[in-house]
Amino acid sequence: MDVAAFLQEICALPGHSGMEGTVASRVAREFARYSPNVTVDKLGNVRALMGEKGPKVLVCAHMDEVGMIVTAIEDNGFLRFWQMGGIDPRILPGSEVTVFGKKSLFGVIGAKPPHLNDGPLKAAGLGDLAIDLGLPKEEVEKLVRVGDPVSFRVPMTRLMNNRAAYKTFDDRACITSMLVAMEELSRVELRCRVEFCATVQEEVGSRGAQVAAYDADPDLAVAFDVCHATTPGTDPWDTMPIEKVGLGMGPTIHPKMFERMRDTAKALNVDIQVDPSGGSTATDADNIMQARMGVPTALLSLPLSYMHTMVETISLTTCREAGRLLAGFLKGVDEKWEDWLCF
């Protein structure tokens, strides 16, 4: 598949937590290229089955995005808003946005200019910001309601060394990696049953994964999310090289699943680095591993710089390599899975 082209399309679609319908429809169509059994559950997760026998493996990556929500319409037509998921207010002044009202409306986020501030300058908080649509209140009220979602309006930018910057790579880049794996697996006979799941509401509590894991009742699971790539000003132990796929390690991750994924990476010559967590991982893995009687879970991490901004940056090569690693792991799961899973 053309990773860059698909990312450019899928990341442009709106899909705020709890409002993922548009992006879910597109993901479902893409899943259907590789699976005859694609469903959308009651919460909105998109689920696709591959393979007909053997142990069941659940693979999850979330499709919801961080964004904003309209909270009030001012007398001057400006929109007040609040965050959905974790938005850093420092990046917002001067941003171009799309307000998804009765039709898509373009706007800009403004703040009081420095010339009119008293005392030392400081970063504006969310309560200091407003969206300007360039319309009077009467027109705004015809087109916008309190509760309408808002997202960044930016183009995808191709950078040197096969990298790209865009909004919503968290976590639709990992959806794309899953599709790379599905494409490869469509050419082989699987010895396990794989349920690929594009989950909802991860950014507000990993709710979709909790529902999917309970319903699927898998033998094994792989969660797929982004991690922090090397970024200016960060400590090296908090980040990892953008060129290497991360393997989660910590209390949420089953040690034997980690070992199996590590050995697969070595056999496939996929560059990896350990992505350690001292407690929870803040990914779908945390809820999946606790489902029912517990699910042995692995975590694949795609390094991403500038998380939760409109210029999230990834390596397209690493995105593809992560999918290749996932496919290799799934090819090795068969009826003997309990033998290598035992301590």
Q: Quick: pLDDT tens for 123-156.
A: 777 888 999 999 999 999 999 999 999 999 999 9
Residue 158 belongs to some domain of the structure: no
pLDDT of amino acid 120: 62
Active-site residue (options: 65, 195, 202, 203): 202
Residue 133 CA to residue 308 CA, distance in Å, equals: 23
- Distance CA(67)–CA(282), nearest Å, equals 18
Residue 12 confidence (pLDDT) = 95
132, 198: one domain: no
202 falls within a domain: yes
180 and 313 within one domain: yes
295 SS3 class: coil
What is the C-alpha separation between 283 and 209, in angstroms, rounded? 9
pLDDT tens, position by position, 303-336: 999 999 999 999 999 999 999 999 999 999 999 9
Identify whether residues 81 and 126 lie together within a single domain.
yes
Q: What is the pLDDT of residues 43-81, one digit of tens each?
A: 999 999 999 999 999 999 999 999 999 999 999 999 999
Same-domain status, 61 and 71 = no
For residue 260, give every residue at least 6 positions away whose Cβ sits within 8 Å of its Cβ, in sequence order, or none. Answer: 298, 329, 332, 340
**pLDDT tens string 280-296:** 999 999 999 999 999 99
Annotated active-site residue 202? The verdict is yes
Structural domain for 76, as ranges: 67-152
pLDDT, one tens digit per residue, over 274-284 is 999 988 999 99
Mean pLDDT (the chain) is 94
Which pLDDT value is given to residue 224? 97
Beta pairing class for 130-132 and 104-110: antiparallel
What is the rounded average pLDDT of the residues 222-234?
92
Task: Give the model's pLDDT for residue 266.
Answer: 98
pLDDT of the residue at 115: 75
Q: What is the pLDDT of residues 93-130, one digit of tens each?
A: 999 999 999 999 999 998 877 776 776 667 777 888 99
Name the phi and psi angles at 16, rounded to 5: -65, 155
Domain boundary among 152, 180, 207: 152
Residue 264 scores a pLDDT above 70: yes
Do 180 and 271 sit in the same domain of this protein?
A: yes
Confidence of residue 232 (pLDDT cuts 50, 70, 90): confident
The verdict on whether omega for the bond into residue 2 sits within 30 degrees of 0, i.e. cis, is no
- Let me know whether 255 and 311 are in one domain: yes
Query: Is 162 within the bounds of a domain?
Result: no
Predicted pLDDT at 88: 82
Q: Distance from CA of residue 278 to its chain's centroid?
A: 22
Q: CA 218, CA 340: separation in Å to the nearest integer?
A: 17
